[in-house]
């Protein structure tokens, strides 16, 4: 099987087969991370550039660890301290980078569409690490990986995505990802934080996305509860009466979990506003799988770097590759 995209810009553009190939490759990469020496020579001599115009802890670090586990050279480029603070345009920055011949470029930007514009001028493949409220494809892929690990099959599951849907690229990518693999997706949140046309996302599997403005109804019988951060940096106005009221109506705690399936899992892309989206006891303990998401993020990003670097088939068994 070959990976059909030159860059990874969105889940919307991926086929089911592309998604399956990434997940299968990630599974093999996870094995590398469980060894004593967590490194294979696969991308030796390749250069990966992390181009982050927005703050990030998990995503930037896990791309860095992923690149290093594959023996690539990694350069971190952050907007402050670069010529961007001297008003160089993004496209000029991209062209300058291009002239240095990177092999892969990872881009996060606060404006939707910037990774695509950069991909249009760069010779190297681009990975979107989050663009505005548009998409965050590697997050959705690591979420699929985590759910598959916990539940086996994704088709037939009910996944409730709860919270600030309007400003969330994680929500958009996950709506596409889970509906492409046959899950029913529910979007749960206050009317001010759920965009009116969200049910139309999910493409081919139209009708797979349903909106709920009551937490109880939205999580009733759900297998996966995915809480999202209230993205206060993305909305200036009064979309919420107060954070305390949000926590009282849409925050998850153990008592509310009883409406979901008995074996439901709780996810969050991080960073968590503790006591707002999730009660403390849920953030730290099962059925929360937040740290499994982070762990899988490294393997998943290794898989994406590997597949986009021009390796089109699955890696040889890791034993054969180790140094």
Upper half-sphere CA count for residue 223 (Cβ side, 13 Å) = 17
Residues 211 and 198: beta-carbon distance below 8 Å: yes
Q: Could you give the CA distance from residue 173 to residue 263 in angstroms, rounded to a whole number?
A: 24
CB of 286 vs ligand NCD, minimal distance in Å: 20
Nearest C-alpha neighbor of 137 from the set 163, 166, 116: 116
| Residue numbers at the binding site for ligand NCD (CB under 6 A) | 58-59, 130, 136, 139, 169-170, 229, 231, 269-270
Which CB, 46 or 109, lies closer to ligand NCD? 109
Judge residue 285's burial from the number of C-beta atoms within 10 Å of its C-beta, 0-12 exposed, 13-18 middle, 19 or more buried. Answer: exposed
User: Closest approach of Cβ 56 to ligand NCD, in Å?
Assistant: 6
Question: What is the nearest approach in angstroms of ligand NCD to the Cβ of residue 149?
Answer: 18
Partner residues linked to 252 by β-bridges: 278
d(CA 155, CA 129): 26
Query: Which residue, 63 or 77, has its beta carbon nearer to ligand NCD?
Result: 63
Say if CB 28 and CB 38 are below 8 A apart: no
CB of 187 to ligand NCD, least distance (A): 16
Smallest gap, in angstroms, from Cβ of residue 177 to ligand NCD? 14
Question: Which CB sits closer to ligand NCD, 12 or 98?
Answer: 12
Nearer to ligand NCD, 270 or 275 (CB): 270
Q: 202 or 269, CB closer to ligand NCD?
A: 269
Q: Are 7 and 105 in contact (CB under 8 A)?
A: no
Q: How far apart are CA 300 and CA 294, in angstroms?
A: 10
Q: Which of residues 23 and 228 has its CB atom nearest to ligand NCD in the complex?
A: 228
Identify which of residues 297 and 315 has a Cβ nearer to ligand NCD in the complex.
Answer: 297
CB of 284 to ligand NCD, least distance (A): 17
**CB nearer ligand NCD, residue 40 or residue 129:** 129
Q: Point out the residue whose Cβ comes nearest to ligand NCD.
A: 229
- The CB-of-268 to ligand NCD minimum distance in angstroms stands at 8
CB 58 to ligand NCD: min, Å: 4
């Amino acid at each position: 099987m070959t990976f059909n995209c030159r860059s990874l810009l969105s889940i919307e553009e991926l086929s089911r087969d592309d998604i399956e190939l990434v997940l299968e490759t990630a599974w093999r990469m996870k094995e590398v991370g469980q060894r004593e020496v967590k490194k294979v020579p696969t991308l030796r001599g390749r250069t990966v550039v992390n181009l982050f115009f927005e703050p990030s802890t998990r995503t930037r670090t896990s791309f860095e660890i992923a690149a290093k586990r594959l023996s690539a050279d990694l350069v971190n480029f952050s907007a402050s301290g670069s010529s961007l603070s001297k008003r160089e345009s993004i496209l000029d920055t991209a062209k300058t980078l291009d002239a240095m011949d990177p092999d892969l470029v990872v881009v996060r930007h606060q404006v939707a569409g910037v990774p695509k514009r950069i991909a249009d001028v760069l010779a190297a493949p681009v990975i979107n690490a989050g663009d505005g409220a548009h998409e965050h494809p590697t997050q959705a892929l690591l979420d699929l990986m985590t759910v598959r690990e916990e539940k086996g099959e994704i088709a037939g599951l009910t996944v409730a995505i709860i919270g600030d849907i309007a400003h969330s690229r994680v929500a958009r990518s996950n709506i596409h990802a889970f509906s492409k693999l046959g899950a029913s997706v529910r979007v749960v949140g206050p009317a001010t934080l759920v965009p009116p046309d969200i049910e139309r996302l999910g493409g081919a599997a139209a009708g797979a996305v349903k909106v709920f403005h009551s937490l109880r109804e939205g999580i009733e019988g759900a297998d996966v509860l995915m809480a999202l951060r209230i993205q206060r940096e993305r909305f200036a106005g009064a979309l919420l009466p107060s954070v305390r009221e949000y926590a009282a109506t849409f925050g998850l705690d153990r008592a509310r979990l009883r409406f979901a399936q008995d074996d439901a899992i709780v996810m969050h892309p991080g960073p968590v506003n503790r006591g707002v989206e999730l009660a403390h006891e849920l953030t730290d303990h099962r059925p929360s799988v937040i740290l499994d998401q982070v762990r899988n993020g490294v393997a998943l990003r290794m898989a994406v770097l590997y597949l986009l670097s021009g390796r089109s088939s699955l890696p040889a068994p890791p034993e054969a590759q180790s140094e």
